[in-house]
Amino acid sequence: MTPTIDTLPQTPDITPLPTIDGGFQTVLADPPWRFANRTGKVAPEHRRLDRYGTMDLESIKALPVGDVTAKNAHLYLWVPNALLLEGIDVLQSWGFRYVSNVIWAKRRKDGGPDGRGVGFYFRNVTEPILFGVKGSMRTLPPARSTVNMIETRKREHSRKPDEQYDLIESCSPGPYLEMFARYARPGWSAWGNESDAEVEPKGQAHKGYSGGAIENFPSLEPHERMSPWLADRMAQILAEEYAAGSSINELVDKSGYSIQRVRGLLDKGGVELRGRGRPKTTAKAPTAKKPPAKKVAAHV
């Protein structure tokens, strides 16, 4: 029987990490971190919710990641906000040094912060990936223009955004290994008790947590008020569209908002409206006329 994550720390026949000639150059890991409160409603081990088993810190640190990675390698390590120090400890135990991070900003459908997160001190709407380097290896050229933030909507409990793979593959070289994988990625080696295609990963998709695109123009009732955050965001988007040449009527059609709301948001965005009949594009500056050529008297 294949051991589960719950049995990994105590079982002598732990499923070994996969290996490859030369070692993996990039590792993505989302360990099942154990919190001090293991019985609370948000705890992964909550019996009724049955989300997933966890591992203690020493067991995670003891995984021989350094043995299966190349001399020069990258590590992307998911860690809860409350366990940042433990995350650094794990990263170093695996033979990497911390150099940066990528932040997952969890968004609502309208693009605002998804305040349905948990936390004892603040309502968490972010989750970091610690980025570590083993040996000496820079990120790939596309990383120079890649921001260290992923903005997406949430899905099942603990499921991370698929956008992470595109970011990693564009910034770090293969071969790739994902540890504690739940959904196998083509072209990657996967390790974990939920990585098999025949295993149904735990974690329910609750209402409102189905992922999907973030809408530029969220639907509103005719007299529904926008939150200050949303009004600022819509004002910025409409101002950019207007500056790019869209007319007010086109913005009304595109957003579904009334002409009064669109005008109000443009005003909030500090936009100076064009007069009727003026061209959409910015007029070109007049070119300076060349001075007339001087007449040269002919010599007799």
**Tens digit of pLDDT for each residue in 244-295?**
888 988 888 878 888 888 899 999 889 888 876 555 544 444 455 556 666 5
- Do 146 and 255 reside in the same domain of the chain? no
Exposed e or buried b for every residue in 209-237, given b needs 16+ CB within 10 A?
Answer: beeeeeeebbebeeeeebeeebbebbbeb
Let me know if residue 207 belongs to a domain. no
Residue 158: CATH number of its domain: 3.40.50
Give the chain's domain count.
2
Q: What percent of the chain has pLDDT over 70?
A: 71
In sign, the C-alpha dihedral spanning 111, 271, 219, 252 is: negative
Six token digits for residue 4: 């589960």
Let me know if residue 122 belongs to a domain. yes
For residues 154-181, average pLDDT: 88
- Do 130 and 238 reside in the same domain of the chain? no
Pair 133, 163: CB distance under 8 Å: no
Let me know if residue 298 belongs to a domain. no
Cα–Cα distance list, 46 to 60, 203, 209 (Å): 20, 12, 20
What local confidence, expressed as pLDDT, does residue 39 receive?
Answer: 52
Let me know if residue 18 belongs to a domain. yes
Distance CA 267, CA 71 (A): 57
- Do 17 and 122 reside in the same domain of the chain? yes
- Do 187 and 238 reside in the same domain of the chain? no
- Do 54 and 111 reside in the same domain of the chain? yes
What local confidence, expressed as pLDDT, does residue 283 receive?
Answer: 42
- Do 242 and 114 reside in the same domain of the chain? no
Give pLDDT tens digits for 146-158: 999 998 887 766 6
Distance CA 70, CA 81 (A): 29
- Do 102 and 251 reside in the same domain of the chain? no
Let me know if residue 290 belongs to a domain. no
For residues 210-218, average pLDDT: 61
Pair 82, 117: CB distance under 8 Å: no
For 77, the domain range is 5-191
- Do 111 and 34 reside in the same domain of the chain? yes
- Do 264 and 129 reside in the same domain of the chain? no
- Stretch (H or E) spanning 253: helix 248-255
Let me know if residue 200 belongs to a domain. no
Domain boundary pick from 191, 207, 241: 191
The answer, yes or no, to whether the previous bond of 175 is cis (omega within 30 of 0) is: yes
How far does CA 149 lie from the centroid of its chain? 5
Query: What are the backbone angles phi and psi of residue 154, rounded to the nearest 5°?
Result: -80, 160
Give pLDDT tens digits for 30-71: 999 988 754 555 555 445 555 557 889 999 999 999 999 999
What local confidence, expressed as pLDDT, does residue 96 receive?
Answer: 98
Let me know if residue 50 belongs to a domain. yes
Question: Any idea how long the chain is?
Answer: 300
Most confidently modeled of 12-16, 37-41, 228-232, 243-247?
243-247
- Do 101 and 184 reside in the same domain of the chain? yes
This prediction has a pTM of: 0.67
Let me know if residue 205 belongs to a domain. no
